[in-house]
């Protein structure tokens, strides 16, 4: 869930690096598919991952921390010259290996600390928030995993969180 949710087709972004407008379009397209990617991934969630998502409590402060960290981590990863190789490697890692990978990266560790998050908070919290927002918007699918309390939280805060999440996903043009 860590790297692969960022860019479904990393090769297209490699060629896009030379053209900023194309890079933005590719990133927009990639990130717009994030919600669908998480939903599809959740079908393959193991019981431990599913339980972690169901047991992760969302608050407004935590949601804002997750969104802020997600934005910074995405910007950092896309800036790396070897991000394509990182994406490929990460897709094959277990959740524990992804967590260790995040903890060993000094830039990601700094981003997480600045947002008062641990690697586990990020790896569990981002999909928890994303799926709670999907459920709050009426998405009903067996692949959407969200606790009733997180869905209620997302519904109560949808007007505040959805624009922030859309902006983090690159779905809103920045002026």
Picking from 105, 83, 85, 70, the residue whose alpha carbon sits closest to that of residue 17 is 83
Listed in sequence order, the residues at least 6 apart from 132 whose beta carbon sits closer than 8 Å to its beta carbon are: 58, 146, 147, 150, 151, 153, 154
CA–centroid distance for 11 within its chain: 20
38 within 8 A of 127, measured Cβ to Cβ: yes
pLDDT in tens, 51-65: 999 999 999 999 999
Is 80 or 27 the better-scoring residue by pLDDT?
A: 80
116: left (phi over 0), alpha (psi -120 to 50) or beta: left
pLDDT score for 171: 58
Could you tell me the pTM of the whole model? 0.74
pLDDT at 81 over 80: yes
Is the predicted pLDDT of residue 136 greater than 90, yes or no? yes
Q: What is the mean pLDDT of residues 78-107?
A: 88
Per-domain boundaries in the chain: 10-169
Q: How far is CA 95 from CA 6, 14, 15, 56, 123, in A?
A: 16, 26, 30, 16, 8
């Amino acid at each position: 869930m860590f790297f692969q949710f960022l860019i479904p087709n990393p090769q297209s972004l490699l060629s896009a690096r030379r053209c900023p407008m194309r890079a933005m379009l590719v990133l927009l397209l990639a990130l717009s598919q994030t919600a669908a990617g998480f939903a599809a991934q959740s079908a393959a969630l193991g019981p431990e991952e599913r339980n972690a998502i169901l047991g992760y409590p969302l608050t407004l402060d935590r949601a804002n921390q997750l969104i802020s960290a997600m934005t910074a981590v995405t910007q950092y990863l896309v800036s790396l010259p070897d991000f394509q190789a990182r994406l490929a490697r990460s897709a094959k890692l277990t959740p524990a290996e992804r967590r260790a990978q995040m903890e060993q990266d000094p830039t990601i560790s700094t981003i997480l600390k600045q947002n008062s998050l641990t690697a586990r908070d990020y790896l569990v919290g981002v999909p928890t928030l994303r799926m709670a927002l999907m459920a709050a918007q009426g998405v009903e699918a067996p692949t959407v995993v969200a606790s009733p309390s997180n869905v209620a939280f997302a519904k109560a805060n949808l007007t505040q969180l959805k624009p922030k999440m859309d902006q983090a996903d690159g779905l809103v043009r920045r002026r």
